[in-house]
Amino acid sequence: MSHPYAGKIAPKSILENIPQLIASYYTQKPDVFESTQQVAFGTSGHRGCATKSSFNEDHIFAITQAMCEYRLSAGITGTLFIGKDTHALSTPAQLSTLQVCVANGVTCRIAANGEYTPTPVISFSILEANKTANKLCDGVVITPSHNPPSDGGFKYNPPNGGPADTDVADFIQKRANELLKNNLSEVKKVSVAKALQSDLVQEYDFITPYVLALKEVVDMEAIQTSGLKIGVDPMGGSGIAVYQKIKEIYKLDMDIVNEYADPTFSFMTCDKDGKIRMDCSSSFAMASLIGLKDKYDIAFGNDPDFDRHGIVTPSVGLMNPNHYLSVAIWYLYSHRKMWSSELGIGKTLVSSSMIDRVVDSIGKKVIEVPVGFKWFVDGLYKSALGFGGEESAGASFLRKDGSVWSTDKDGVILNLLAAEITAKLKKDPGQIYQEFEAEFGKAYYERIDAPASPEQKSILKNLSPENITSKTLAGEAIEGVFTKASGNGAKIGGLKVSSKNGWFAARPSGTEDIYKIYAESFISLEHLRQIQEEAKEIVLSAIS
């Protein structure tokens, strides 16, 4: 059941107290023996809240020092590209990062005039620099993604441009926590003033090279000449200037709403739980743009760091991310004539099986991996994957000539691709997905949560197929039980069970005493509910 505020403009009573939040960043100190206040690199770096002592100046000092030490050990001595989003804690955290980087002799590039830089632009910049640099370059994006305004985040992208792999993240996390426990005695830092005056800190135009190159990955000319009326909601995020530059350079008929940064995000409609959350895959958070759907031929939005996409069409409104991934994959592999016929298609194991059915129909190959975009980085970097996408509305793909574009999620190109599809095919992606349903069947997909103790979560994370004794799932014979991803053999950290017309996957939460159940049926909503109930029984039997 949704909250009374869901889908409505956030009332002033719930807006974040920004001065208090920033004061907490500088004044509150983490308890290094309290697990919730330690550095914890999840699938997208460290995230936390200053008022909860989980994202404070000490955390950033420690993380940045650990990152500098990792760079040294890995022989990475080139420029560090630093981006930030529009969350209130991102600017203070960027200053803290520069204090430590300068003290460690690291050359940094930041946007001029305190401007913002999206995740995909940092990935693009790293890859472009490393084509000609004689020293390896890497990057940082200071963002908690779509999290509420109270949160901050820090993620590191090594020279391959993508999210840090597990070994790198583990190194930084472990070393950062050691530094915190030693009262930061081994952290090198200079004053903010000295950092900003240092020759090591260079201002840089990230946006223009990225926007100029967009024509190499998306058919911008087709969009330009189509006469499409386009609506964009950057959701007050880091890519407002990106869309402004796109509009300027490519002369698109594009309206940009919420064309300003506001750290309270007061223009947002609240998410399902009544909180402000800039989730461009949520119909509640995207309610404002959905309300304008009939005004535009195609519309889209992004989360604050622009690594996620949200597609709004006249035919269906906000597209389910799984539905759009299916359309994007079909279109790209049918229309990118310069792409190798051998290019794989990367999907996470909790993404819709509609993707498999669509891919099978065009004679291509799916590479199924665990949850986390990091699993696509190597394939995109080496042009072995043409596309990599997650069920949570994050994806990227290759340039038109089959070379790498970005190895992190790029919400801008996924949005522009929706415009290209509409321009070239004279129908929007929602209409195309309706054709898929007519051909391949209707998919019923949902993610729910179920309770689990820390002990049960640990067991679930380490299950083997032999632990599952059930032979059927919702009336169908079980065809596969997996605790490793079929595409790369990596551990799921849970399990996936599949039948002819349905499947479920179960993974423990990293922060709460719950586990997540992803499930899908190609029969009916009732069949989906049956899968979900039996999934709970199967998991409980295995972990009890």
Of 176, 206, 236, the residue that ends a domain is 206
Of 183, 206, 229, the residue that ends a domain is 206
Q: Which domain holds residue 31?
A: 12-206
Q: Phi and psi dihedrals of 109, rounded to 5? A: -120, 130
CB 80 within 8 A of CB 106: yes
Of 139, 172, 206, the residue that ends a domain is 206
Q: State the virtual CA torsion across 213, 200, 159, 349 in degrees, nearest 10.
A: -80
Strand order in the sheet with 45-49: 41-42, 45-49, 151-157, 138-142, 80-84, 108-111, 201-204
Active-site residue set: 145
- Give domain status of residue 92, yes or no: yes
User: What is the CATH classification number for the domain harbouring 184?
Assistant: 3.40.120.10
The sign one gets for the Cα dihedral 169, 38, 63, 131 is positive
- Give domain status of residue 201, yes or no: yes
Can you tell me the mean pLDDT for 167-171?
95
- Give domain status of residue 73, yes or no: yes
What is the separation of C-alpha 497 from the centre of its chain, rounded to a whole number of angstroms? 25
Query: 2 pLDDT band (50/70/90 cuts)?
Result: confident
- Give domain status of residue 426, yes or no: no
Q: Give pTM, 2 decimals.
A: 0.96
Residue 83: per-residue pLDDT: 98
- Give domain status of residue 458, yes or no: yes
pLDDT in tens, 90-118: 999 999 999 999 999 999 999 999 999 99
pLDDT in tens, 243-253: 999 999 999 99
pLDDT in tens, 120-146: 999 999 999 999 999 999 999 999 999
Percent of the chain with pLDDT over 70: 100
Residue 509: per-residue pLDDT: 84
Domains of the chain: total: 2
Mean pLDDT of the residues in the chain: 96
Residue 369: per-residue pLDDT: 97
Can you tell me the mean pLDDT for 500-510?
93
User: What is the CATH classification number for the domain harbouring 482?
Assistant: 3.30.310.50
Q: Is the pLDDT of residue 46 over 80?
A: yes
Q: Is the pLDDT of residue 236 over 90?
A: yes
- Give domain status of residue 378, yes or no: no
CB 518 within 8 A of CB 382: no
- Give domain status of residue 438, yes or no: no
Judged by average pLDDT, the poorest of 38-47, 253-262, 414-423 is 38-47
Can you tell me the mean pLDDT for 171-197?
98
- Give domain status of residue 415, yes or no: no
